[in-house]
Amino acid sequence: MAALNEADELRLSAGPGGQRRPAEVSAAAGTSASVMSTDHHLSITDFLTDGSLTALCAAITAVTGTPVVLRDPDGRLIVTASGADGGRRWAVRDAEGPVALAEAPEFVAPLTLSAGVIGTLEVPSGDFGDAPETRATVGRFLELLASIVAELCEREISARQRVQELEALRRMSSLLVGATDTDALLHVAVRSAVELLGADAGTVRAFEDQDRRLTLRAWVGLSPEYVKASVAVPADSIPDRAALTGEVFVSEDLWSETSAPNLEARKREGLKGMISAGLVFRGKCLGVMRLFTREPRRYTASERGLFKAIAEQSAAAMASTRLLQTEKEHMQVRRQVRLAADVQRRLLPKKAPEIQGLDVAARAIPSFELSGDFYDFIDLNGHLGIAVGDVVGKGVAAALLMAATRSFIRAYAQDVYDIDEIMNRVNQALCRDTRDNEFATIFYGVVDPRRKQLTYCNGGHEPPIVVHTAAGRAPTLSDVQELSTGGMVVGVDPLQRYHRGIVDLRPGDVVLAYTDGLCDTTNFDGEKFGKRRVRQALLDVLTSTPSASADTIADHLIWENRRFVGLNTRSDDTTLVVMRVG
């Protein structure tokens, strides 16, 4: 792109009296501001990276002959400058105080965001002669360009805020995990909240047992005198009672709330502004977290949302810590908590069921110590229930959600006959207890070994396959049937209705249910194992060994998968269940 020449820079950067502004500020690509604080005076320079915008202005000037310049909120000119390494650069022509053009500009298009004006695009006074259409076109073009730039900057602000909120919650989660008891946890929580939202002080009050009085349990930034004066107060007497229901309460002037039980102590401490939220876990309020400022302060919707998320996370951590403290004498429970991987392995069936007319085998290979996959066998009075599932994500969160999903299936399978209704209830339970980004895929089927019939429902899972074998010939792809009847993934839409499918089986038929980790594993070239190879491996073993057992088939599939992947790292859990009809 063309850059401004020396004459252009002299003319466009001239202030009153024609004095040129010295280039005092320059920025290299990649040095845009990373923090969109409410206290930060935003400028277009916070969003510039490689100088493309200034280069665009220079290019428009060169092509049209009509100068287009970029200024920051203080009126300083922003121009293209070349770096020593050949990379694109931009610079600010600075001066003492706000600087105006030597003449009033012909057009001014402000770069307006929700946070205010961050700069302007301007066309200096020019001679358009008898061409009003040209003048109108230039003005319209400048407005459209300013609108596009402002929209991109607004999106950048929103994206940065979301990243900051996620990072804040991530850091707080790691701190809460390290807390060893309730008081330590609450101190970590309130200290993190004060730092993240830029408050001056903070407290956490908690309910003790069945007493409806809020007792001070943790504090940051307060004097010993204030803490000593902060006695337990009845929940019904506090002005921010709405916070106890899970709402965020904001008071810009605490001193005006004459009914507050500790008003005088707050005045002596100089606490004027407050934001509070209840520590609510599963509908029960455990306490209230408050942040204080010594000057009145308003909170944005984003800050309120972040504070509410901190309070909810603190409540969940507080409830979990209380449970651990209550059960600390039970060493086996503590061992199960510390050794979550061992607990998860014990949730899987210890061995395949032994049912006349059925040969069943299963394999589970976690990619990490904890797995989001699961399989289960459920004895249903002579029938066999088979569940295979995959929970989104990995690690501890996925392992906990996996355990909950497995428990839901087992609970409903014992009391509900219709498979589609079982899946409906599991889906509603997961929608109720999980976040929007947490879900699972589930295949659940029940085999009647006497009638040789499989009734199933597929909740968004990788479709299992049935190979119908025939005497006297090797099976082919035409003998393969997919089991896809059911519905979408569970845990997303509570109104989703699921359907069941029925498959008639014959002696020798093979049913394979697996998670996507089997077909999604990749070799060093990035090529996936894929569904085609899964089917071909199954057909190969049935061709070479027509009477292969379920264990033999399962081992062959795992071996072919490992042979394809080689030494490449397994990125997802792999689980499969093989059933052969006798």
Q: pLDDT tens digit string along 545-560?
A: 999 999 999 999 999 9
In this predicted structure, what is the pLDDT of residue 16? 32
Residue 94 has pLDDT above 50, yes or no: yes
Instruction: Indicate if 192 and 119 belong to the same structural domain.
Output: no
Q: When comparing pLDDT for 22 and 356, which is higher?
A: 356
Mark whether 213 and 131 lie in a shared domain: no
Cα 236–chain centre separation: 36
Across the range 39-67, mean pLDDT stands at 82
pLDDT band per the 50, 70, 90 thresholds, residue 177 = low
Which residue has better confidence, 132 or 565? 565
Measured distance CA(386)–CA(378) in Å, rounded: 6
Q: What is the CATH number of the domain that holds 551?
A: 3.60.40.10
487-503: burial string, b at 16+ Cβ within 10 Å, e else: bebbbbeeebebebbeb
Both 283 and 356 in one domain: the answer is no
Q: Give me the number of domains the chain comprises.
A: 3
Last residue of a domain, one of 159, 190, 209: 159
> What number of other Cβ atoms are within 10 A of residue 395's Cβ?
13
Assigned domain for 174 exists: no
φ and ψ at residue 89, rounded to 5 degrees: -135, 165
Longest dimension (CA), the chain: 102
Q: Are residues 404 and 491 in the same domain?
A: yes
Q: Are residues 45 and 116 in the same domain?
A: yes
Structure tokens at 392: 């989104």
Q: Which amino acid is at 326?
A: T
How many Å apart are CA 9 and CA 500, to the nearest integer?
Answer: 74
State the pLDDT confidence band at 127, using cuts at 50, 70 and 90.
low
Q: What is the dihedral of CA 137, 138, 141, 142, to 10 degrees?
A: -150
- Which DSSP state fits 130? T
Given pLDDT bands bounded at 50, 70 and 90, which one contains residue 310? Answer: confident
- Asked if 113 contacts 47 with a C-beta cutoff of 8 angstroms, the reply is no
The pLDDT of residue 15 is above 50: no
In a domain, 532, yes or no: yes
Tokens of 553: 């088939």
- Kindly state whether residues 187 and 123 are assigned to the same domain: no
Choose the final residue of a domain: 130, 159, 188: 159
Q: Is residue 458 part of a domain?
A: yes
169 belongs to a structural domain: no
Distance CA 288, CA 125 (A): 60
228-239 pLDDT, tens digit per residue, is 887 788 888 788
More confident position, 34 or 135: 135
pLDDT of residue 377: 96
Q: Comparing 167 with 504, which gets the higher pLDDT? A: 504
Statement: residue 97 has pLDDT above 50: no
Find the domain containing 224 and state its range. Answer: 179-326
- The b/e string for 422-438 (b: 16+ C-beta within 10 A; e otherwise) is bbbbbbbbbbeebeeeb
Q: Are 396 and 533 in a shared domain?
A: yes
- For residues 154 and 193, membership in a common domain is answered with no
Task: Give yes or no for residue 18 having a pLDDT over 60.
Answer: no
Q: How many CA atoms lie within 13 A of 544 on its CB side?
A: 8
List of long-range contacts for 467-476, beta carbons under 8 Å, 24+ apart: 467/509, 467/510, 467/512, 467/538, 467/539, 467/542, 468/506, 468/509, 469/506, 469/508, 469/509, 469/510, 469/542, 469/546, 471/508, 474/539, 474/542, 474/543, 474/546, 475/539, 475/542, 475/543, 476/539
Average pLDDT for residues 472-499, to the nearest whole number? 94
Most confident of 83-97, 316-330, 479-493: 479-493
Backbone angle region of 578, left / alpha / beta, with phi > 0 → left and psi within -120 to 50 → alpha: beta
Residue 170 lies in a domain: no
Residue 453: pLDDT above 60? yes
> Are 577 and 444 within 8 A, CB to CB?
no
pLDDT confidence of residue 332: 58
Residues 261, 376 within the same domain: no
CB 167 within 8 A of CB 95: no
Alpha carbons 172 and 166: distance in angstroms, whole number? 10
The separation between CA 160 and the C-alpha centre of its own chain, rounded to angstroms, equals 14
Pairing outcome for strands 453-459 and 486-487? parallel
Per-residue pLDDT, 59: 86
Q: How do residues 409-427 score in pLDDT, each as one tens digit?
A: 999 998 888 999 999 999 9
pLDDT(493) > 90: yes
Token code pair at residue 174: 């790691």
Weakest mean pLDDT among 115-129, 387-401, 418-432, 510-524:
115-129
What's the average model confidence in pLDDT over 492-512?
Answer: 96
Report d(CA 474, CA 543) in Å as an integer.
5
Residue 335 forms part of a structural domain: no
Kindly state whether residues 194 and 133 are assigned to the same domain: no
Q: 329 or 363, which is more confident?
A: 363
Residue 578 has pLDDT above 70, yes or no: yes
3-state secondary structure (DSSP) of residue 309: helix
Could you tell me if 122 and 109 are in contact, meaning their C-beta atoms sit under 8 angstroms apart? yes
Domain boundary among the residues 129, 159, 189 is at 159
pLDDT at 264: 82
- Same domain for 302 and 397, yes or no, is no
User: What pTM was estimated for this model as a whole?
Assistant: 0.45
Percent of residues, the chain, with pLDDT higher than 90: 40
Residue 362 backbone phi and psi in degrees, to 5: -145, 155
| pLDDT level of residue 88 (50, 70, 90 thresholds) | low
Q: Is the pLDDT of residue 341 over 80?
A: no
Which comes out higher in pLDDT, residue 37 or 322? 322
Q: For residue 166, is it within any domain?
A: no
**pLDDT tens profile 183-212:** 888 888 898 889 888 899 999 999 876 667
DSSP label at 529?
A: -
Contacts of 575 (CB under 8 A, 6+ apart): 362, 363, 364, 365, 371, 373, 374, 375, 388, 390, 514, 515, 517, 518
Two tokens, residue 97: 């105080």
pLDDT reading at 124 higher than 70: yes
Q: Which residue has the higher pLDDT, 50 or 117?
A: 117
End-to-end C-alpha distance for the chain, whole angstroms: 75
Average pLDDT of the segment spanning 443-453: 96
CATH number at residue 273: 3.30.450.40
Q: Reply yes or no on whether the pLDDT at 45 is more than 50.
A: yes
Q: Is 134 a member of any domain?
A: yes
The pLDDT value given to residue 301: 82
The verdict on 309 and 379 lying in the same domain is no
